[in-house]
Amino acid sequence: MKNQLADESLREDLISNEELRSQSEELINALVGNLTDENFEDLNSDKWGPVIEILGGISITRARQGFSPRETGNFVFSLKEALFQVLQEEISDPSVLFQESLKINRLMDNLSVVTFETFIKGREEVILRQTDEITEISTPVIRVWDGILALPIIGTLDSARTQIVMENLLQEIVETGSSIAILDISGVPAVDSLVAQHLIKTVSATRLMGAECIISGIRPEIAQTVVHLGIDLSNIITKASLASALAYAFKVMRLEVRKVGTIHKS
Amino acid sequence: MVLSLSKDSIMVLREQDVVLLRNRIKEVAVKIKMGLVNQTRLITAASELLRNMLRYADGGQCLIEVVSRGRENGIRLTFSDKGPGIPDIALAMRDGYSTGKSLGLGLPGTKRLVNEFDIKSKVGEGTTVTILKWANG
Amino acid sequence: MDKIPILRMGAFLLVTIQVDLYDRLALNLEADLVQMVNKTSAKGVLIDISAVSIVDSFMGRIIGNIASMSKILDAETVVVGMQPAVAITLIELGLPLKGVHTALDVEKGMNLLKSMIDDFDDDDQEVDDDGFIAE
């Protein structure tokens, strides 16, 4: 404890002394409880399970509380210092002291790596969650009219994203009972053959379900790429813009948009 | 490296067993959080292979394994029968599914639905088909 | 033994599939349906698969058979309520489902059937190749 409190990187704003003490106690208890001569070296043995768990828990809690990984690492290092001190007090023979110190050193270094690994894992989970959220919001489905859906896609389309777009589109068609879906890709810079195949699959699946899917906003570069790749889009309805796709959809649904005239009564 | 986490073997002798097996696979798929579309792909593929087993080999065995590779989880299904075997696998794997008298084995289509597909067959001894689908593959 | 119920809705027949079709059940359905189409002179058959989560090639074949048989008896077939996952899987599987029309739900399916029959009625007075007036 003394070492920790002396440490400059003590974050009194983030953790109370109480908590610090209880965290340290928990760790030391687990450490002492599991140390035997055999498993000292082998961090993979089951006996280390509880220690690693506690350490992992401390690391995650601290990460959430806002500690940097260095600070959490220092938590473990301070324990190392304390252990060294104890060793010095207990062992007088220099060569034995050195051996034991080496062992402790190796052990504590391994344990501190555990804290870093847990920290990184926590970060990765955040990234994954954010990726999911981005995927969800980047493909809105808009009911532009009764029975007509529009899906403007913005950004690069990769195979995985196209699959998600496809599933969303089909699901929305069922839920809204829309007979026409307009997939607008004017915000998509490029399309490779795998993505093109998924788009074709989307149109086919839509038709199989009894609705229709129009693709609008194909950039001239994409049109060129598609032809060069030998992809056959002749069975797909394509329109230059979302507006013309909408006009087409109205026509198919036998809807008409007219200007309301003023009637002069003479 | 693909690790097998659990194994479950089921005998399939009658049509009703197909339904049982489909439900079993669905249970496992839900447990490893496989998305609905992938579930459908896997169960449809299994259905195709099961029907082949029943039609041509009087039934067989299906092994359901939960597997993992790194952080990914998946399901591996192994269908083994002691039927007549397939004389020309290359031919069977060619597209050209006909709706006429020749019913075909539907293998190329089945292969498209899964991530990994392996088939071994010996005439007079039997056939073993192994398919693997990752939860998020 | 289960039998799949067939409902009559005016000039159309509605079949709602809610259980897994196995061989005998499917063959019975084909037979029953064909008999009913004949008996009621139905002009259309609606197959509701909104509760079906797996359509494999066997099921696809049954649907195709029903469509072909009904067509011979002068009835069109519309499959309604296909689930998205099923549609995607069918495309990837490569099942043709020839001669089968599709619609999102029963209501749209019936409208589709009506429009197909209306179109046909418009051609009523045409004379076909054999010199008979097409009915």
Listing DSSP states for chain A in one string gives -HHHHH-TT--TTTS-HHHHHHHHHHHHHHHHHH--TTTTT-TTSGGGHHHHHHHHHHHHHHHHHT--HHHHHHHHHHHHHHHHHHHHHH---HHHHHHHHHHHHHHHHHHHHHHHHHHHHHHHHHHHHHHHHHHHHTS--EEEETTEEEEEEES---HHHHHHHHHHHHHHHHHHT-SEEEEEEEE-----HHHHHHHHHHHHHHHHHT-EEEEE---HHHHHHHHHTT---TTSEEESSHHHHHHHHHHHTT----PPPPPPP-
Q: Note whether C9 contacts A: Cβ–Cβ < 8 A.
A: no
Instruction: Name every chain C residue with its beta carbon within 8 A of the beta carbon of B36.
Output: 85
List A residues 157-186 in contact with C (Cβ-Cβ < 8 A): 166-167, 170-171, 173-174, 177, 179
- Nearest CA to A223 out of A186, A175, A181, A168 is that of A186
User: Residue C6: enclosing H or E segment and its boundaries?
Assistant: strand C6-9
Q: Is residue C129 part of a domain?
A: no
| Low-confidence stretches of chain B (pLDDT beneath 70) | 96-104
Model confidence over B48-81: pLDDT tens digits? Answer: 999 999 989 999 999 999 999 988 999 999 999 9
CB A122 within 8 A of CB A63: yes
Contact B18, B51 (CB under 8 A): yes
Most C CBs within 10 A among B30, B36, B37, hence the mutation to make, goes to B37
pLDDT in tens, C94-108: 887 878 999 999 999
The rounded Cα A43 to chain-centroid distance in angstroms is 30
User: C131 and chain A: CB distance < 8 Å anywhere?
Assistant: no
CATH architecture of structural domain B3-134: 2-Layer Sandwich (3.30)
CB < 8 Å to B109, chain C: 57, 92-95
Residue B99 has a pLDDT of 37
Q: Which of B2, B136, B137, B16 is nearest to B78 (CA)?
A: B2
What residue type is assigned to position C34 of the chain? V
Is residue A179 a contact partner of residue A253, using CB atoms and an 8 Å limit?
A: yes
Q: Quick: pLDDT tens for C4-22.
A: 999 999 999 999 998 888 7
Give the pLDDT mean for A63-86: 77
Alpha carbon distance A73, A114 (integer Å): 9
Whole-number pLDDT of residue A51: 74
Chain A neighbours (≥3 Cβ pairs under 8 A) are C
Domain ranges of chain B: 3-134
**Judging by beta carbons within 10 Å of its beta carbon (0-12, 13-18, 19+), is residue A266 exposed, middle or buried?**
exposed
- The residue of chain C nearest to residue B100, with distances taken between CA atoms, is C61
Chain B residue nearest residue C61, CA to CA: B99
Distance CA B35, CA A188 (A): 26
Beta-strand relationship, C6-9 and C12-16: antiparallel
- pLDDT for A43 equals 57
Quote the CA–CA distance of A67 and A86 in Å, as a whole number: 28
CA-to-CA dists, residue A53 to A24, A31, A118, angstroms: 14, 11, 10
Token pair 């499959």 is found at C79
pLDDT 10s digits, A103-148:
878 888 888 888 888 888 878 888 888 887 877 677 788 999 999 9
Say which of B18, B39, B113 has its CB closest to residue C93.
Answer: B113
At C36, list the tokens.
């009913």
What confidence score (pLDDT) does residue B10 get? 92
Q: Provide the domain limits for residue C66.
A: 6-124
Nearest CA in chain C to A202: C88
pLDDT score of A188 more than 60:
yes
Q: Is A121 on the interface with C (CB under 8 A)?
A: no
Supply the pLDDT for residue A8.
Answer: 34
**Which of C5, C15, C11, C6 minimizes the C-alpha distance to C106?**
C15
Reference B112, options C37, C14, C93; nearest CA is: C93
Instruction: List chain A residues with CB under 8 Å of C87.
Output: 170, 205-206, 208-209
pLDDT at C44 over 60: yes
CATH number reported for the structural domain that contains residue C77 in this entry: 3.30.750.24
Q: Which helix (H) or strand (E) holds B74?
A: strand B72-81
Question: Is residue C133 included in any domain, yes or no?
Answer: no
Of residues A196, B50, B17, B95, the one with CA closest to residue B42: B50
> Please, what sign has the CA dihedral across residues B80, B85, B89, B91?
negative
For residue C50, CA distances in Å to A219, B117, C104, C116 come to 37, 30, 9, 22
Two tokens at A65? Answer: 């509380």
The residues near A180 (Cβ < 8 Å, ≥ 6 apart) are A147, A148, A149, A211, A212, A213, A214, A249, A252, A253
- Does residue C15 form part of some domain? yes
List pLDDT tens digits, range A214-247: 999 999 999 999 999 999 998 899 999 999 999 9
User: Does residue C59 lie in a domain region?
Assistant: yes
Cβ-Cβ contacts under 8 Å, C109 against chain A? 210
Nearest CA in chain B to C56: B44
Chain C residues near any Cβ of chain B (below 8 Å): 20, 22-24, 53-58, 61, 64, 83-86, 88-89, 92-96, 98
Burial B8-27 (b: 16+ CB within 10 A, else e): eeeebeebebbbebbebbbe
What is Dmax (Cα atoms) for chain C? 48
pTM, full prediction: 0.75
Interface test with C, best of A165, A171, A174, A209 (most C CBs within 10 A): A209
| Residue B37 near chain C (CB below 8 Å) | yes
* Residue among A177, A207, A209 minimizing CB distance to C84: A209
How many folded domains does chain C comprise?
1
Collapsed DSSP state (helix, strand, coil) of residue C41: coil
> What DSSP string describes A173-223?
HHHHT-SEEEEEEEE-----HHHHHHHHHHHHHHHHHT-EEEEE---HHHH
Q: What is the pLDDT of residue A40?
A: 54
3-state SS, residue B118? strand
Contact status, residue A115 vs residue A57, Cβ threshold 8 Å: no
Which residues in chain C are contacts of A174 at CB distance < 8 A?
A: 83-84, 104
A158 pLDDT band, cuts 50/70/90, is confident
C104 touches chain A (CB under 8 A): yes
**What is the nearest CA distance from B48 to chain C, expressed in angstroms?**
6
Name chain B contacts of C58, Cβ cutoff 8 Å.
47, 51
Choose the closest CB to C103 out of A205, A206, A210. A210
What is the overall mean pLDDT for chain A? 81
